[in-house]
Structure 1
Amino acid sequence: MAHEELSPFRQVWRRVVIAAVVLLATVLIVWLDRDAYRDGNQIGIDLLDAFYYATVTLSTTGYGDITPLTDAARLVNILVITPLRILFLIVLIGTTLEALTTRTREEFRIRRWRSHVRQHVIVCGYGTKGRSAIRSLQAYGTPLEQIVVVDPEPRAIDEANSLGLTGIVGDASRTDVLRRASIERARAVIVAANRDDASVLITLTVRQLNAGVPITTSVREEENAQLLRQSGADTVITTSATAGRLLGLSTDAPRVVATVEDLVTGGQGLDLQQRRVTAGEVGLGPRQLRDIVLSVTRGGRTLRFDDPLIGTLEAEDVLVVVRSHPPGGQIAV
């Protein structure tokens, strides 16, 4: 189970509540013994004076305009209010130091990581789609150290970090955030945002910063797919349309849906793989290979396995094949 920590806002809010409780407790102590204090030449103080005295006493050493008169009041100040002052300062200073320490630690970790990382994959969005994409990357042999997650939610990044991923809190459509993720050295970018407009902005920013990196993005509405391609995405996956087609197939051809699910779930059963033609396969037909060939890409054009234009395989051809996943191992390359 992923480690969960309180968000920075909740941590600060909790400490503010503690500080307020300490302040109110001090006011109550002073108010109950209000006749034992002097404000200038006046004996006794009112509720406003009690708040004033408690505030300046907890936050400073006091101004001396309101002072305790009796030995009992002075003893209460020594034994009760002084420890409350120390607790109050610890709460406030601790919040500041924790925030600075956390930020410094995070910046140091990212700087150290940036100095070593090369050919990594950036996943923009750590929701359901982003998590599934990361599981597929792992199944196909990408180590966790080579996967970077960018998400605006601190809790999502905390979870990603607890699993061994490198996480960066921020909006992936911002230039500075993507540069922190070393976008210029990435080998691929996966855009798994929850909204189509966010996907467009992220894709545009990625393409501006790295003109050559392959971008794969998801889109909810099919009519936005072309917009994503125009924004610079190399591959656009329409999640709602794809899910709808599978739902329709499930009625009359449930085994087809099961097989498709098997194919797209890496690390078990049947796996889809993209690879280049080996030297021993040059000159053969697609049906003569041990692997089941689904398509052949030649000169930037993708041909189906039964297209007569394929003829025999050439040295620069790229194949999409179906392989059986070896039990307990990664997908062979």
Structure 2
Amino acid sequence: MKLPGQDVMARPAGEHLVTHRVKLPRKALERPIRQVGKRVLMALLVLVATALIVYADRGGYTDNSDDSVDLLDAFYYATVTLSTTGYGDITPVSDGARLTNIFVITPLRVLFLIILVGTTLEVLTERTREEWRLNRWRSALRDHTVVVGFGTKGRSAVQTVCATGLKAEQVVVVDPSSKAIDAATAEGYAGVIGDATRSDVLKRAEVHKARQIIIAPQRDDTSVLVTLTARQLNRGAKIVAAVREEENAPLLKQSGADAVITSSGAAGRLLGLSVLSPAAGMVMEDLIQQGSGLDLVERPVVRAEVGKKPRETDDLVVSVLRGHRVLGYDDPSIGPLQLTDRLITIVRASPSAQVAPHLRPLSGD
């Protein structure tokens, strides 16, 4: 097992690791050719407007060549004036023409220059604007979900959590691959490029303010190191981690994980169940897919259910959570339901509606 200071998060061969970088989701930008076309059109409109203003007041201008200003002269004057060339062969001589130059032509000249150098200005201000967005994002981020690893497991986990009503703005993805972070930001999640075994990378994801942390990297040793680091930074967050090998699950729990999912073992058990009963396998697959068919959810006991047996409730109760114990629905020690109990039930999913705030989904990885 590598030490926390080493890069242990697997990434595609040959891909350069960019550390300590936060990427926020963006709106789709226009194509460059369209942006350039719009700016050229705006510049032409300013040029035409200036020429028409000069031509309308052509009596207040003089031309050194023939003392008269026609439409061509007006466009010529507008061009050299807006570009700040200013040859001086055509000049305003009347008070009205000079006032027009002060209050109209000069602002149009400034607007014309801004349009032409707009791309340069955007580059100069992009860093400041991005820094401002990051500061605002950090100050507003509270009780969010951090997902370490945006592979198949991480992506499925965050989709399941978001299916219950969690907003995409409340999800931060950490991954060493810039391609994975680009995919995450494209789906509306904030992303941090870096090795999650390093505490400074997790701090950039504001893990110390997170409510829940999902750890789903490609390697078990990485899961252990990330869990240790995350638990050190946040003592109260709920940490759920995934491992490939069953023998590594106890080590993860000792490292601070509240729940550990063995991905290979879970897949193997589902395969075995499907062999014995394809229909049972389909039901289990349906249960772990949040938002369609049947959903497995956790909810509190309502007052109308206090004193009843689990089988007497309207929902199909699978287990009762009492304190830190999970009791089966047929456990004789349950007795009457208590107001402090929580029920794990199977409900019919409603694709058009989000899960109520008091319900929490229970899904496999």
* TM-score between both structures, scaled by the size of structure 2: 0.63
Aligned to 1:112: 136
Displacement of 1:291:
0.9
Contact 1:286/1:293 (CA < 8 Å) preserved in 2?
yes
* 1:314 maps to 2:321: no
Question: Which of the residues 177, 192, 195 maps onto 2:219?
Answer: 195
Report the AA paired with residue 139 of structure 1: A
Question: Which of the residues 188, 191, 197 maps onto 1:164?
Answer: 188
Aligned to 2:304: 280
Change (3 A) 1:321 1:203: same
Displacement of 1:155:
1.3
Following superposition of structure 1 onto structure 2, how do residues 237-256 of structure 1 map, counting pairs within 5 Å? Answer: 237-256=261-280
CA offsets per residue over residues 107-157 of structure 1, 9 Å max, x none?
543322110011100000000001101110111111101111111111111
Displacement of 1:190:
0.2
- C-alpha separation in 2, matches of 1:136 and 1:277: 24
Higher relative contact order (CA 8 A, sep 6+): 2
- C-alpha separation in 2, matches of 1:316 and 1:296: 11
* 1:139 maps to 2:192: no
Following superposition of structure 1 onto structure 2, how do residues 36-55 of structure 1 map, counting pairs within 5 Å? Answer: none
Report the AA paired with residue 339 of structure 2: A
CA offsets per residue over residues 181-220 of structure 1, 9 Å max, x none?
1112111000011100000000000000011111000000
Aligned to 1:224: 248
- C-alpha separation in 2, matches of 1:245 and 1:107: 48
Change (3 A) 1:106 1:8: farther
Change (3 A) 1:309 1:270: same
- C-alpha separation in 2, matches of 1:163 and 1:8: 23
Change (3 A) 1:327 1:153: closer
* Structure 1 residues not aligned, in runs of 5+: 1-6, 10-93
Question: Which of the residues 245, 248, 268 maps onto 2:292?
Answer: 268
Alignment: residue pair count: 241
Displacement of 1:103:
6.7
Aligned to 2:54: none
Indicate the structure with greater helix content. Answer: 1
Aligned to 1:46: none
* 1:233 maps to 2:275: no
Change (3 A) 1:209 1:286: same
Please give the secondary structure, in 1, of the residue aligned with 2:240: strand
Following superposition of structure 1 onto structure 2, how do residues 31-110 of structure 1 map, counting pairs within 5 Å? Answer: 107-110=131-134
- C-alpha separation in 1, matches of 2:219 and 2:351: 37
- C-alpha separation in 2, matches of 1:107 and 1:8: 23
* TM-score between both structures, scaled by the size of structure 1: 0.68
Report the AA paired with residue 240 of structure 1: S
* 1:206 maps to 2:230: yes
- C-alpha separation in 2, matches of 1:327 and 1:253: 27
Report the AA paired with residue 135 of structure 1: Q
Following superposition of structure 1 onto structure 2, how do residues 175-190 of structure 1 map, counting pairs within 5 Å? Answer: 175-190=199-214
* 1:258 maps to 2:282: yes
Please give the secondary structure, in 1, of the residue aligned with 2:354: coil
Change (3 A) 1:198 1:300: same
Change (3 A) 1:147 1:284: same
My pick for the range that moved more, 159-168 or 190-199, is: 159-168
Report the AA paired with residue 251 of structure 2: L
Aligned to 1:174: 198
Report the AA paired with residue 292 of structure 1: L
Contact 1:110/1:180 (CA < 8 Å) preserved in 2?
no
- C-alpha separation in 1, matches of 2:306 and 2:264: 39
* Structure 2 residues not aligned, in runs of 5+: 1-14, 18-118, 360-365
CA offsets per residue over residues 224-254 of structure 1, 9 Å max, x none?
0000000000000001011111111111211
Report the AA paired with residue 165 of structure 1: Y
Please give the secondary structure, in 2, of the residue aligned with 1:118: coil
Question: Which of the residues 289, 308, 311 maps onto 2:313?
Answer: 289
Report the AA paired with residue 195 of structure 1: R
